[in-house]
A and B are shown apart, each in its own frame.
Chain A
Amino acid sequence: MKSHRHVRKELYDYLQGGLSGRDHKAIEEHLAQCQDCRLELDAIRDSAAILRQHARKPHEVRPAFYWQQFAAKVELKIEREREHEQPGSIVGQLLETFLIHRRPFSIGFASALMMMMIVFGVWSVWFKSPSPDRSVAERPRVESVPMESGSVQNTSLDLRAQDYLEQSKVLLIGLLNTDTKNLKTSAPLLLREREISRKLVSESATLTTSLNDPSQRRLRELISDLQLILVQIANLSNEQEVPGVEIIKGGIEHNAILFKINLEQIQRTTRTAEKTGGTAKKTT
């Protein structure tokens, strides 16, 4: 005779027919004699049916378009991660892999690392007195940088961003005008577009990291949106070109990318006009 607790744990598998013949029979015999467990079985059966009938799987909430772009978003994140990689990051990756997959050893490893850092810290405080000359030499040389360099840098960045937007715009218009019914004639064009996209993707990664000013937030977001589309163009495969191009066209329209580019360019022109006007007033 099985205990109530044991029987209740097995009720779901019993309902689904997932038990061995012997276990199934044992549960059946228990249920025949136990009303409480029969009530539990009814509760489980009802819930299972209600869930099956009414609840959606979480991914079903997302529209088809979301899933068409998912892989491109992942690729974009990987691309960005590569752009940000620094010389020391290989050690970081090894460490992470080690910490994730060797959890039992990771605590010991972390403790050893901590001990080494403490010993090094104590050593550097007790045995290394800082020389006044060295501390002067190590002082950051920010003061020697002219005050206007920031704005010069911003201007050149802005120009690069505008150039990037213009190139992307031309590329996207070209793609939107591609006739997917006659892709054979458009094939060389698509090849060229993929090449340009690759270049623009790496440019966009640099731009998004450099545009740090809060006033450049919208531009940064636009470049990120564009980057997503460009990655998809760059990764168009020969076998999937027709559906691929259609998906990308949908993405451009869905995100109103061209409208956003135009808006950004108009705003930039207005800003430049205002600045020029302001400078002219000052000089008069």
Chain B
Amino acid sequence: MPVADEQVLITNVRQGSHEAFRVLVETYMKQAYDVAFSILGNHEDADDVAQEAFVRVHRSLASFRGESAFSTWLFRIVKNCSLNRLKQRKRKQGREVELAFADHEVVSLNTGTGQAEDTRIYVERALHELPTLQRAVVMLRHMNGLSTKQVSKILDCSEGTVKTHLHRGLKKMRERLQFLKDGLE
């Protein structure tokens, strides 16, 4: 969305327009969901957190000064909400990976069939098993196509750190999926 249009929308939301807020939500909801999932690795939590982030955006849009892009500001809120959720989850139960993967697998198994589907499950599992920060960087940078700078702003780390995590994450994926490549050749 052009920056000028976005500014108009933000101004309208501040003046109480529901329509404008709905347009903002519908423009960014999928990306916000992806950011939440990249950190949480769980669809149920991503659903909750993405919604919660928009509620916060609505509440504190007055404090948005426009120093960064709206999307970056929104994704940082999503990241903060996701980290809070991670803390809560770790406090409640020490079985994050099992739960998250169970959720992931159910969704995968319900769609599609055959070898392509099996491959997808392996790939998504390998991605899912990466350490949180590596997974988040790989998903945001490679799968969602955000720039290194954007990812570094969202995740609050240097661009060098983003590059390092991306390299390590992709390399680890390759090690875990070696058998897939051997099978395809």
**In contact, A77 and B170 (Cβ under 8 angstroms):** no
Q: A57-B143, A59-B34 are in contact. Are A71 and B22 (CB under 8 A)?
A: yes
Interface size class on chain A is 35 or more
Known: A8-B167, A51-B123, A75-B21. 17 other contacts (CB 8 A): A10-B163, A12-B142, A13-B163, A40-B167, A40-B171, A44-B170, A44-B171, A46-B177, A48-B170, A50-B177, A51-B138, A51-B143, A58-B43, A70-B50, A78-B58, A81-B55, A93-B59
Closest A residue to B59 using CB positions: A93
User: In residues 70-86 of chain B, which contact A (Cβ within 8 Å)?
Assistant: 77, 80
**A-B contacts at CB below 8 angstroms, number:** 128
Give the distance in Å from the alpha carbon of A58 to the alpha carbon of B127 in the complex. 12
Is B154 interfacial (CB-CB < 8 Å)?
no
**In contact, A58 and B34 (Cβ under 8 angstroms):** yes
8 Å CB contact of B144 from A43, A57, A71, A237: A57
**In contact, B148 and A13 (Cβ under 8 angstroms):** yes
A251 to chain B, nearest CB (A): 16
Give the distance in Å from the alpha carbon of A71 to the alpha carbon of B51 in the complex. 8
B58 neighbours in A (Cβ, 8 Å): 74, 78
B50 neighbours in A (Cβ, 8 Å): 70
8 Å CB contact of A11 from B19, B124, B167: B167
Residue positions of A touching B, CB distance < 8 A: 8-13, 40, 43-44, 46-48, 50-52, 54-59, 61-62, 67, 70-71, 73-75, 77-78, 81, 93, 96-97, 100-101, 235, 237
In the A-B complex, the 8 residue pairs with the smallest Cβ-Cβ separation, listed nearest first, are A58-B37, A59-B30, A43-B174, A47-B170, A9-B163, A54-B123, A47-B173, A71-B25
Is B89 interfacial (CB-CB < 8 Å)?
no
User: In residues 103-125 of chain B, which contact A (Cβ within 8 Å)?
Assistant: 107-108, 111, 116, 119-120, 123-124
8 Å CB contact of A101 from B26, B63, B163: B63
B74 to chain A, nearest CB (A): 12
8 Å CB contact of B46 from A8, A43, A58: A58
A77 neighbours in B (Cβ, 8 Å): 51-52, 55
